[in-house]
Chain A
Amino acid sequence: MHEMDCSDAVAKIGDFLDRELSADEIAMVERHLAECGGCRNAFRWEGSVISLVKQCAQEQAPEGLVGRLLDGLDEGH
């Protein structure tokens, strides 16, 4: 089976971290990462950026919002 080089691996970085690759592609990326410290670092940084933005962007709806939104919905509509 074709093995990945660094540019192949980096091209898959987003899809890999988002779990959007096939099982075969995941296995190929993982084999490359097991051998390549530079790509392991790059993937870790990339994953860390995604986690940071996700963590900052998470919101909890204010208390009572659902009730206010749903209150008065008219079954007749």
Chain B
Amino acid sequence: MTKEQFEQEVERVIDPAFGYAVRLSGGNRDEAEDLLQEAVLAAFKGRETFTSGTNFKAWFFRILTNSLYRKVGKKQLETVSIDADPEPYLYMQARDAGFSGSEDPAELLFDKIDGAEVLAALDALPDDFREVSSLYFTGEMSYDEIAETLDIPVGTVRSRLHRARKLLQVALWDVAVRRGLVEDISHA
């Protein structure tokens, strides 16, 4: 891969890569830039290991992920008790709270939740779940691409992502309850 080709590929993935780095850095944009700088240097030095015609984004994001763990070390997956049942948690909570379920959920609740609270919920996920979720939500990656990036089976991606989404829904419902949104709507 020539320098020009490398630069073009980096430019193509820079927005999702920056988003992923921000999430890996717990929302710290300066740290995200430093992390990206390390990853770009490492990727450029190792560009001969990239196989032409394969997925540059997955290859680069793997280097980005490894750059972080070289710096801070990877925590083992915390033991979290999450029901594997893929129930749509927020919908069921809303229904139990008296909503009919046919309302527009965005208009009802989600537009009233602050973006920072959503990101705080994402950043608070256990490491392995946050990693998969960040690739999914900021990296716009398919399950296959996430599996390739993290070098884990697709089934593991699926299971972590589904559980992470449930944890996110639990956190978002807590935000809605804490801020009185549920009560306001129930009594409207």
Contact = CB atoms under 8 A, between A and B. Distances in A.
A38 to B, nearest CB: 7
Contact-residue size bin, chain B (C-beta under 8 Å from the other chain): 35 or more
A16 B17 CA distance: 26
Given A10-B88, A45-B101, A61-B18, A56 B40 contact: no
The residue in A48, A56, A66 that gathers the most chain B C-beta atoms within 10 A of its C-beta is: A56
B18 A59 contact: yes
Contact-residue size bin, chain A (C-beta under 8 Å from the other chain): 35 or more
A69 B37 contact: yes
Given A11-B86, A14-B158, A65 B137 contact: no
Contact of A70 (B10, B15, B101, B162): B10
A5 interface: no
Give the secondary structure class of A's interface: helix
Give the secondary structure class of B's interface: helix
A58 interface: yes
Interface string B76-105: 000000000011101110100000011011
B165 A14 contact: yes
Interface stretch (B50-58, B66-74, B111-119, B180-188): B111-119
Interface of B: 3, 6-7, 10-11, 14-19, 22-23, 29, 33, 36-37, 40-41, 44-45, 86-88, 90-92, 94, 101-102, 104-106, 110, 113, 115, 118-119, 122, 134, 137-138, 140, 142-143, 158, 161-162, 165, 168-169, 172
